[in-house]
Structure 1
Amino acid sequence: MRLAVILAALPFPAFAWEFSPDPICTLAHDTDTAAIVITYDATLPEYALSITLKDGTWPDAPVFGMEFIGPRPLAIGTDRHVTDGATLTVRDRGFGNVLDGLEFNAGALAASGPTTVPMILTDAAPAVRAFRDCPSDTPATS
Structure 2
Amino acid sequence: MSRNASLAAAVALAVASSPAFAEVQMFKGDLSGGAETPPSASKGVGSIAVTLDPKTRKISWKGYFVGLEGQELKAHFHGPAKAGEKAAPVLPVEALEETFQGSATLDAKQVKQLEDGQWYFNIHSAKHPEGELRGQLNRVR
TM-score interval, normalised by the smaller of the two chains: 0.3 to 0.5
TM-score after normalising by structure 1: 0.43
Structure showing greater Rg: 2
TM-score, normalization: structure 2?
0.43
